Amino acid sequence: MAYRVLLINGSPRANGCTARALREIADTLHAEGIETDLVHVGNADVRGCLSCGTCGKKGRCVFDDKVNETAPLFERADGLIVGSPVYYGSPNGTLLSFLDRLFYSTSFPKHMKVGAAVVSCRRGGNTASFDVLNKYFTISSMPVVSSTYWNQVHGFTAEDVEKDAEGLQTMRNLARNAAFLIRAIAAEKSKTGLPAVERGSFTSFPDGK
């Protein structure tokens, strides 16, 4: 059975530090027999969510852009790995707008697709950005893939990242863990199915208050 992972590059630079980290992951996934798709969104014209509700009626975002193009790739993927540079201690704003709309406008189940965040920074803001990206997975019942350090690389250029031996090692270990989890989840799913998911309860308070 062929498994696929969707890689999203949230950097404006298609061949920068974030891309170098994602390439290390992709190469390792390929060695593990996992196929990959790469979407570059960091330089795309992506606006934020309008909260218009169109996606709830039509099953797709009202803005027919990179979000709607990527949705089918996300639906068929067994895993999602999102990479972003750090800007002012946070992920790229374009990427956050993209992820807000991608996750909210798609109705297909994300339950048990594995997820991982990768961040690239020169010095600081990495763990804060890492935390922001991981929240997209944890609200969607997506198991978060860990590694042997936080999933980050350091450098100002892709050439700098080449010197970050531990960072690239972390990317390889992340990819192997992702491949293992994908196969393990698929094996258990074939035997017992996926865990039950309760729906219906929303924020509620006694006496209507």
Tens digits of residue pLDDT in 49-103 = 999 999 999 999 999 999 999 999 999 999 999 999 999 999 999 999 999 999 9
pLDDT at residue 208, rounded to an integer: 57
pLDDT at residue 14, rounded to an integer: 92
Tens digits of residue pLDDT in 1-60 = 799 999 999 999 999 999 999 999 999 999 999 999 999 998 999 999 999 999 999 999
The model's confidence at residue 200, banded by pLDDT at 50, 70 and 90, is: confident
Tens digits of residue pLDDT in 178-195 = 999 999 999 999 999 999
What pTM value is reported for the model? 0.94
Tens digits of residue pLDDT in 116-174 = 999 999 999 999 999 999 999 999 999 999 999 999 999 999 999 999 999 999 999 99
Distance, CA of 161 to CA of 164 (rounded, Å)? 5
User: Does pLDDT of 199 surpass 90?
Assistant: no
Write down the CATH number for the domain with range 3-208: 3.40.50.360
Burial class, 134, CB count within 10 angstroms (exposed 0-12 / middle 13-18 / buried 19+): middle
Residue 138 CB-half CA count within 13 A: 8
